[in-house]
Structure 1
Amino acid sequence: MHPTSLEMRVRRFAERVRTIKHVEQALALLNWDAQTMLPKKGVEARSQVIGTLTEQRVRLLLDPQLAEDVAALTEPEAAAQLDEPTREAVRLVKREIERRRAVPLELQRAFAELTTEAEAVWAEARKADDFARFSPYLERIVATVRTFADCWGYEGHPYDALLDDYEPGMTVAKLDALFRELRPPLEALLDRVREAGPVDAAFLRRAFPLDRQRAFVERVLVDIGYDFDGGRLDVSAHPFCTGIHPGDVRITTRYNPHDFVDAFFSALHEGGHALYEQQLPAEWADTPLGEGASMGIHESQSRFWDTFIGLSRPFWERYYPEAVDKFPEVLGDVSFSAFYRAINRIEPSLIRVDADPLTYQFHIFLRYELEKQLVAGELAVADLPAAWRERMRAYLGIAPETDADGVLQDVHWSAGLFGYFPTYTLGNLYAAQLHAAMHRDLDDMDARVREGDFAPIRAWLADRVHRHGRRHSPEALIAQATGEPPTARPFIAFLEEKVRDVYGL
């Protein structure tokens, strides 16, 4: 290829990709608003706007000129002349073009409109404990994602095609093998904890004034490095993080006057996502490289902060005195030991986002199995509530009395995010591995946490994970960051140590 022609194609490719990214940023902002600020009467019109922009994004991707430039830039002679980031960006765009081309454009637009409406209906249905109100939308969503899987194709299970959107390279066969390895030691630990008896946590249900909860949450977010000049904290039915640009990363939480832990750890979790987004390379913001490597890697960043830092003894040795000062009428008679044991107790619960690090995985096992059955046509949407209760009893010995605490508790299905849930467990495993590697690399990491000195931790994560954006596969990124391929061993070791620390077992 003539150098001038190559330069022209690279420039034209970059300009088109920048335009696509700007449309994605607009969609992210509209979706954030839909979940935080949008009036009920605006939902239908907003769904149409999102549908229009989704269609325009796909049209930009499927433009013949872009396809021609991508094809030319992936030819061996041309690819050899590109720098590594440009070569990777071309590869990622080519993959996205292939996936979008496989699905009829009108179906992609209709799905964007459907899920925007469905999220609003889900929020009302959850509030009213009315699964029947939401189920017609979920039936249409399941039918559509099954069509997507057929359009994309798969070798093993139709769920493989959906997984690939969130964790490239992951398959049902790999996940089934991983979960078979992980589940027995978790069940054994849970049995040991049950024998030890419950931990008193009643004081966590006392009245925690909402204004002081928010002030405490904001203080800790600033300490760990969340930049409020490049983000904001709002309230939503289900906490989430929206990365619009490294300079505009928004998070939400939800406040309960009788549950301090809910808002605090939800905000810390979303703050971990936000730190990743804020520390992605700004020069890649308008390219596909300026994103997280996968949802599993993204979840590793949130779980790193809420579980491996936020539940640690050094963290609360730093912040518990401040919590007592902030809530003296609530925590003034509660010792550090009692508080630490209470927030680290292992106790089966109905709500996934409130679950401890051990029982949390059973919530994911349940959702993963139900999703596989729905996508394979082996389970009807109408049978979901009963199937949910049955598995909760089998896995954790409890079952919800209401659908609001059961099948309606998560926003993911209303958003069409089938294939997402397994990345939460992958994120836990990745986070444990990163945490163990960081302990090896940083001098006296616990002392740094105890002093509230999180800058070295952020810098380590930025160097090993964040600065690479989407250049590497999840497996390659973890291997490069920690020195070994992904493994469940550090996570199991972490849980065993937590059980010893909290229960003395």
Structure 2
Amino acid sequence: MKKKLKKFEEIIKEKKLIDASLEILQWDLETTAPKKGKELIADVFGYLSMKSYNLMTSEEFIKLVEKLSEKKEKLNDIQRKEIEDITEEIEKMKKIPPKEYEEYSKLVARSQGVWEEAKNKNDFNLFKDDLKKIFEYNIKFAKYQMKDEKNIYDVLLNEYEKGMDSEKLDKFFKSLREEIVPLLKKVKESKVKNDFEFLSKKVDIETQRRFNRYLASYLGFDFDRGVLAESEHPFTMNIDKNDVRMTTKFIEDQPFSSIFSVIHESGHGIYEQQIGDDLQGTILASGGSMGIHESQSRFYENILGRSLAFWEGIYKNGIENFPALKEIDINELYRGVNKVEPSLIRTEADELTYSLHIMVRYEIEKGIINGELDIDKLPEIWNKKMEEYLGVVPETDSEGVLQDVHWAGGMIGYFPSYALGSVYAAQIYHKMKEDMDVDQLLRDGKMDRIKGWLRDRIHVYGKLRGTAELIKEITGEDLEPKYYIDYLKEKYSKIYNLD
């Protein structure tokens, strides 16, 4: 048994080294790689992806995992969970023909550069063919995996949120829509001032860089084990808990865009940096489902970062690092960063309308997967749904269908995780407030207490525990949207003086 476990650990180590190499390539693609060098990187991406594929589907490894699985009662919790997860991964990979796996790996590596060019040139047609191929591959791969799922899209949803399906999501989004849309109507009819000039006042990029680095550190992100760089679309990457990489995008006349982007990504980054040491070297040493991961970023960005108490705590040091704050009254700042106004860009959306942006994407990708929507007409479909849900219509592809990188990276089924994350975050916050005075901790700048609470209840477990199990253990309940709805109602009723 010891020999088998040692061999298993050796193969897993090799897999993790390959995966780390792929992550570093991905980082390079999205940050500093020259345009003409991206084709070679895509080829290397395909080559390394096949190394991982061949390793996981080798007869030697499959037999080894089967032998260990037969003796699960002799394994500890971590080993048992690793064997369960790797068995599931093997089963998925075995069903995908090697050539298709390699071609798809190259496609998504190359397509992200194509997407960026299309976005910069405001031309969906440049990206359309690649997008069709990405959806075709995802449909094909999902068909290979189908078991008890009711439709193909459910297979893809399970890649990011295990146990989730479109039937549950339809009910979930319906409950949000029934509450958020009427609340949004009341907010729009409110006579409360909704014009905050400071939100679009120019702040030089170097000042923004300095303040955002300070901000991430203040929140608890460890720069000895992480970096903050720039990319077209902000993201966080976990190569290892000691190498966590975040990006943001700086816009001179939208300084709060990068501020909240960095707060959001810091939530992801802190989660990864706090994974338990006992999980290092295993496949469990990263954050859990995308829903729980987004709960951490949404928690930091909105529940903490858009609270008055947070800005009261950071105001003195914030002014030193960000002189433009001197001219802003703190209560005005609080109202400004919580301004409700339907917008075109998801990442710039206010907290109240954000889930409506997710509904647009959810309905579109579900429609494409189910053969109900035509990718050729995607800009038109996108614009129609934006008008229906948010009352705004993009004038360009760049601020419409091309604004997100997710589909270019093959992440079909990911978007619902954002909305689920917001709900998980509110549910977690409700419990946290029972355990400590969160507002006072924020005023006192004691971010370490909040960070420690999240570490002990969520972060240390990595992928060892499922999201449903974690949420039930922390809150005593399953996923419950009412906490999110109540949170939004209470917050925005006060800000906009609603009855």
TM-score bracket for the superposition, by shorter chain length: over 0.9
Q: Which residue of 2 aligns with 1:217?
A: 212
Aligned equivalents of 1:230, 1:385: Cα separation in 2: 41
What does 1:43-54 align with in structure 2 at a 5 Å threshold? 43-54=38-49
What amino acid is aligned across from residue 96 of structure 2 in structure 1? V
- Residues 43-83 of structure 1 show CA distances to partners (whole Å, capped at 9, x for unaligned) of 110000000000110111001121112112222xx111111
Report the Cα distance in structure 1 between the residues aligned to 2:326 and 2:57, rounded to whole angstroms.
62
Helix, strand or coil at the partner of 2:246:
strand
Structure 2 distance, partners of 1:502, 1:262, is: 21
Q: Of 337, 341, 350, which aligns to 2:331?
A: 337
Shift of 1:331: 4.1
Look up the SS of the partner of 2:74 in the other structure: coil
Q: Distance in 2 between matches of 1:390 and 1:421?
A: 19
- Please state if 1:128 is matched with 2:121: yes
1:202 paired to 2:223: no
Shift of 1:333: 3.6
Which runs of 5 or more residues in structure 2 are unaligned? none
Match of 1:463 in 2: 456
What does residue 427 of structure 1 align with?
A: 421
Q: What's the CA shift for 1:179?
A: 1.1
Measure the CA separation in 2 of the matches of 1:138 and 1:362. 23
Q: TM-score of the superposition, structure 1-length normalised?
A: 0.96
Q: Distance in 2 between matches of 1:367 and 1:11?
A: 44
Show the counterpart of 1:20. 15
Alpha-carbon shift at residue 282 of structure 1 (Å): 3.0
Distance 1:208 1:323 in 2: 14
Alignment of 1:87-486 (within 5 A): 87-154=80-147, 155-197=149-191, 199-328=194-323, 330-442=324-436, 444-486=437-479
Q: Check whether the contact 1:129–1:402 (CA below 8 A) recurs between aligned residues.
A: yes
Contact 1:251 1:270 in 2 (8 A): yes
Alignment-mate amino acid for residue 39 of structure 1? P
- Asked if structure 1 preserves the Cα contact closer than 8 Å seen for 2:360 and 2:386, the reply is yes
Check whether the contact 1:22–1:286 (CA below 8 A) recurs between aligned residues.
Answer: no
2:382, 2:400 within 8 Å by CA — same for their partners in 1? yes
Aligned partner of 1:33: which letter?
D
SS in 1 for 2:224: helix
CA distance, structure 1, for counterparts of residue 441 and residue 90 of structure 2: 45
1:204 is displaced (CA, Å) by 1.1
Residue 389 (structure 1) shift: 0.5
After superposition, what is the alpha-carbon deviation per residue over 1:263-291, rounded to whole angstroms, capped at 9, x for unaligned? 00001111110001101123323212112
Instruction: Give SS of 1:403's match.
Output: coil
Instruction: Give how far 1:323 is off.
Output: 3.8
Offset, 1:324:
4.0
| Secondary structure class of the residue paired with 1:228 | coil
Match of 2:54 among 59, 64, 68: 59
Q: Which residue of 1 aligns with 2:29?
A: 34
CA displacement, residues 171-213 of structure 1 (integer Å, 9 cap, x when unaligned): 1111111111221011111011011045112221111111111
Q: What is the rounded CA distance, in whole Å, between the counterparts of 2:371 and 2:255 in structure 1? A: 41
Aligned Cα root-mean-square deviation (Å): 1.2
- Counterpart CA distance in 2 for 1:290 and 1:203 is 41
Aligned to 1:80, the other structure's residue is in SS state helix
> Bigger shift: 219-228 or 242-251?
219-228
Choose the corresponding residue for 1:9, options 4, 16, 25.
Answer: 4
By how many angstroms is 1:305 displaced? Answer: 0.5
Secondary structure of the structure 2 residue equivalent to 1:252: strand
Pick from 472, 496, 499 the counterpart of residue 503 of structure 1.
496
**1-structure distance, mates of 2:91, 2:250:** 42
SS of structure 2 residue aligned to 1:229 = coil
- Paired with 1:206 and 1:480, the residues of 2 have a C-alpha distance of 45
Measured after TM superposition, the shift of residue 325 of structure 1 is 4.3
CA distance in 2, matches of 1:227, 1:296: 23
**Aligned CA distance change for structure 1 residues 336 and 90 (closer, same or farther; 3 Å):** same
| Count, aligned residues | 496
Percent identity between the aligned chains? 39
What is the deviation of 1:347?
A: 1.1
The separation in 2 between residues aligned to 1:333 and 1:171, in whole angstroms, is 48
Q: Distance in 1 between matches of 2:18 and 2:208?
A: 36
Distance (Å, rounded) in 2 between the aligned partners of 1:91 and 1:124:
41
The Cα shift of 1:500 comes to: 2.2
The alpha carbon displacement at 1:327 in A equals: 4.5
> 3-state DSSP class of the match of 1:114?
helix
Distance in 2 (alpha carbons) for counterparts of 1:39 and 1:421: 29
In structure 2, the residue corresponding to 1:199 is in which secondary structure? coil
Q: Cα deviation per residue 1:205-250 (whole Å; 9 max; x = unaligned)?
A: 1111111111111112111110101011100000000100000000
Distance 2:218 2:316 in 1: 15
Structure 1, 483-492 or 360-369: larger mean CA deviation: 483-492
